[in-house]
Amino acid sequence: MIQLIQGNLFHGLPNDDPYAHLATYIEICNTIKIVGVPEDAIRLGLFSFSLSGKAKRWLHSFKGNSLRTWDEVVEKFLKKYFPESKIAEGKAAISSFHQFSNESLSEVLERFHSLLRKTPTHGFSEPIQLNIFIDGLRPQLKQLLDASVGRKIKLKTHEEAMELIENMATSDHAILRDRTHIQTKSSLLELSSQDAFLAQNKLMSKQLEALTKTLSKLPTQLSASQPSPSSILQVAGCAICGGAHESGCYIPTEDHAHEVSYMGNQPRQNFNAGGFSGFLQGQNYNQQYGQ
């Protein structure tokens, strides 16, 4: 057991992580079960074996039994090796978080979680953590995340958004990771053609779904807008010209006027075509024959 503990020594160097050391140390101690001995007592008794160099000298600087409980040891240990200055430094690193140009989604997500674990007392709530993470992503990756939910991913709850991000991170080597890097003078990386296709495909699917819903309502709207047969005005045809108006509304045209004039000038039955001279001839005939 002592060998396992000493495999995780804390030296008190600037790069040593006191929170990670405590987590590993407690995990090892939890494998020890002694009847009648509390867990905190085991942790308190073995803690000095997990320290080395400056850290071990620091622990021995406490006289006698001044550190009587495990909670007191943890408080003093973190105050010594993770002071307020480190907390402020960790909070600054979290709040200014951004994705590197060559990081995939899984890589940037793990690095962000590492920053949170490194400064557990950062004080950022879960919604704020989500906003910091998304704001720090590259524009292309944010576009893909928004397209996957059909709106801004920030509008999702923390649980829903993180579940989606983690699911996409597990397959980012096949979907999200940039495969085609176009190097420019300013060292900017453009989104690969496959990623752009996926984003466009998602947006087109949403638009097609909305269009289908609109078209499905069209027959109902058309039937509602058609007038009933009783509302259509029935107009009899004109007896003169056969037009779609009443006979009293007929207005003669020039062609019709010529037609009427022509009909009036035609010879009538039993009418003397000779005019006045023919009339006189008829009178002479009647006198001659005594009629």
Concatenating the DSSP letter of every residue in 101-149 gives TT--HHHHHHHHHHHHHH-TT----HHHHHHHHHHTS-HHHHHHHHHHH
Residue 250 predicted with pLDDT over 70: no
More reliable by pLDDT, 243 or 77: 77
Ramachandran area for residue 242 (φ above 0: left; ψ -120 to 50: alpha; else beta): left
Q: Which residue has the tokens 């296709």?
A: 197
pLDDT of residue 221: 66
Residue 113 predicted with pLDDT over 70: yes
pLDDT of residue 273: 46
40, 67 contact by CB (below 8 A): no
The whole-number average pLDDT for the span 148-159 is: 88
pLDDT of residue 136: 95
127, 158 contact by CB (below 8 A): yes
Residue 133 predicted with pLDDT over 80: yes
Residue 21 predicted with pLDDT over 90: yes
The whole-number average pLDDT for the span 194-210 is: 60
> Which amino acid is it at 78?
L
Percent of residues, the chain, with pLDDT higher than 70: 63
What are the CA-CA distances from residue 2 to residues 8, 33, 51, 113, 260 (Å)?
10, 15, 12, 31, 131
- The three-class DSSP label of residue 10 is strand
The whole-number average pLDDT for the span 137-151 is: 90
Residue 76 predicted with pLDDT over 90: yes
Sequence-distant (≥ 6) Cβ neighbours of residue 252 within 8 angstroms? 260
Average pLDDT of the chain, as a whole number = 77
More reliable by pLDDT, 265 or 244: 244
The whole-number average pLDDT for the span 259-267 is: 50
β-strand partners of 51: 10
pLDDT of residue 198: 55
Task: Fill in the DSSP letter of residue 49.
Answer: G
pLDDT of residue 254: 54
67, 41 contact by CB (below 8 A): no
| CA dihedral of 220, 225, 226, 231, whole degrees rounded to 10 | 140
Confidence label for 73 from pLDDT (cuts 50, 70 and 90): very high
More reliable by pLDDT, 211 or 13: 13
Confidence label for 184 from pLDDT (cuts 50, 70 and 90): very low
Burial class (CB in 10 A: 0-12, 13-18, 19+), 178: buried
The whole-number average pLDDT for the span 87-110 is: 93
Confidence label for 212 from pLDDT (cuts 50, 70 and 90): confident
- The three-class DSSP label of residue 204 is helix
More reliable by pLDDT, 191 or 108: 108
Of residues 162, 48, 175, the one with CA closest to residue 109: 162
pTM, 2 dp? 0.53
pLDDT of residue 53: 95
More reliable by pLDDT, 169 or 280: 169
Instruction: Give helix then strand counts, H and E, for the chain.
Output: 14, 0
Burial class (CB in 10 A: 0-12, 13-18, 19+), 137: buried
Q: Supply 248's token pair.
A: 């009293």
β-strand partners of 10: 51
Torsion sign over Cα 274, 280, 281, 285: positive
The whole-number average pLDDT for the span 49-62 is: 94
The whole-number average pLDDT for the span 247-263 is: 55
More reliable by pLDDT, 21 or 178: 21
Residue 145 predicted with pLDDT over 60: yes
Domain positions in the chain: 2-81, 86-170
Q: CA 200, CA 181: separation in Å to the nearest integer?
A: 19
The whole-number average pLDDT for the span 229-258 is: 58
Q: Which CATH number fits domain 2-81: 1.10.3470, 1.10.150, 1.10.1200, 2.60.120?
A: 1.10.1200
Task: Fill in the DSSP letter of residue 265.
Answer: T
pLDDT of residue 204: 65
Instruction: Give me the helix-helix angle, 193-216 and 218-225, nearest 10°.
Output: 30
Q: How many CB atoms lie within 10 A of CB 6?
A: 12
Task: Fill in the DSSP letter of residue 64.
Answer: T
pLDDT of residue 262: 47
